Structures are given as structure tokens and as C-alpha cells.
A = this chain, B = another copy of it.
Amino acid sequence: MTRVERWEARSEWPLTAAAFAFLVAYAVPIVDPAVSDTAQRLCAVVVWVTWGLFVVDFAARVLLADRRWRYIGHHVLDLAVVALPLLRPLRLVRLAALVSVLNRTGARQLRGKVVGYAVAGATLLVVVGALAVTQAERGHAGATITGFGDGLWWAITTITTVGYGDTYPVTATGRFVAAAVMIGGIALLGVITATLASWLVQRVDETTTAQQAATRAQVDDLAAEVRALRELLTQRGPTSDPPDSLP
């Protein structure tokens, strides 16, 4: 376990908590734009503080890494999430860790796990997409998404690819969010399909291996039988030899 891995193991839960706090602070002013000034300022502070935590985490990981530039090169998305305000919602991807835990305690069967991940992933995608698109669209001329309710409705019709066209983003930022939601949905579907395919192959492999092991155990028994036969003959060899030495 390298130093970076130790840091990551220790910082996993604090960062997930920070991501959760960020979700709340990010969501409140979007869901209810009429929230009091004090609440808005509090949310802004939480957003800044959690951002600070993410920056500290990334800096610590780079400093602890053996080959720093290479580490940054391999974690360029993490850097972008911290550095670019536009990618702020991606900090919520941290919450995927939460999903993995909720799941660990739940069903141990693969089918249950796949369903769990799919539901959690789709829900996260819909909620984050709805928040991001509402923030981008609200207040723009000609916007059809004017509140979080519209945003949620838009996210659901988009991720299911129904796309009625009663709500759709009109700003460049909103369209980027929409493309991210669509690509995220396809990626989710791809991961589920790939997991199922892997599971199919594994199940078939297990049957083949178990069946072959049974066959081989049988051949082993037979081989033992033949070996016993040989020993019988080899032992009897001398016993049967005397006639040779008769004269």
C-alpha cells in the first residue's frame, strides 16, 4: 500500500461527507430561489469550504505521489473538477462511494447488486442533472425549465430518451449538461450490459470448470485403479518369477 493509497483510504469518508454537504448547499438555492439571504450566504460558505477540502485532498495526493507529474496526468479529471467552476457538479460523483456502501450492506447476489447500482446511478444522474440544468436555464429568455420540478421532469424524460420536447435546454451551459446526462445514461447502460455479460461468462465458466473437475476426479479414480493394478502385477512379478529360477 503506497502513501497515496493510505491517504485515499483515510480520506474516503470525510470527502464523501464533504460531497454530501456540498450537495445540500448546492441544491438549496436552486430548489428554492426564494430562500433567505442568510441561508444563501451559509450555502455559499459550505460550497467554498467543501471546495477547499477537495483542493487540499488533491494537493495532498499529488504531494504524496512518487511521480507527481505522472500522477496529475493520470488524474486530470480530478484536477478539472477542482479547478473548473463549470464542472463543480461532478464533485458529487464522490457520492458514488456512498452507493457502494449502501450496496455492500444489501443484497450479496450479483443481480441485486446490478439493480442497486443501476438505480443509485440513475437517481444520482437525474438529481444532479436536474440541479445543474435548472441553475443554467432559470431566468433565461425562452427557457422552458424554470424550476427544480421542471428540471427533474426534464432529466427523467431525457435519461429515458422519451424527449417530449416540452422542456429542453436553450443555453449553451444547459446543452452541455444535457449532453453529459445523455452520455452518462448511455455509459450507465453500457456498464450494466458489460457487468451482465461478464456474469454470464463467469457462470458458464463455473459450470464448465465444476463439471470438468468432476470428470477429472473420476479419471483420477480410474488412474488410481490402474496404478493399483500395476502394483499388483509388479508385486506378483517376483512371486511369479520363482518358476524361472526353478532349475
Contacts and interface: CB of A to CB of B under 8 A. Distances in A.
Given A156-B182, A218-B220, A244 B244 contact: no
Interface stretch (A15-23, A74-82, A199-207): A199-207
A234 B237 contact: no
Interface stretch (A4-12, A127-135, A222-230): A222-230
Nearest to A235: B237
A35 interface: no
A84 interface: no
A85 B60 CA distance: 54
Interface string A159-181: 01111111010101001001100
A211 B209 contact: yes
A6 to B, nearest CB: 28
Interface in A65-100: none
Given A164-B164, A223-B222, A239-B241, A232 B234 contact: yes
Contacts of A205: 203-204, 207
A156 B160 CA distance: 14
A150 B47 CA distance: 33
B175 A162 contact: no
Contact of A182 (B111, B162, B246): B162
Contact of A175 (B153, B182, B228): B153
A160 B172 contact: no
A159 to B, nearest CB: 9
Contact of A226 (B190, B197, B225): B225
A162 B158 contact: yes
Interface in A186-218: 186, 190, 193-194, 196-197, 200-201, 203-205, 207-209, 211-212, 214-216, 218
A232 B232 contact: no
11 contacts: A157-B182, A161-B163, A163-B164, A166-B170, A204-B204, A211-B212, A226-B226, A226-B229, A232-B234, A236-B237, A239-B244
Given A166-B170, A204-B207, 16 more contacts: A160-B182, A160-B186, A162-B162, A163-B163, A165-B166, A201-B204, A204-B205, A222-B222, A222-B226, A225-B230, A226-B226, A232-B233, A232-B234, A233-B236, A239-B244, A240-B243
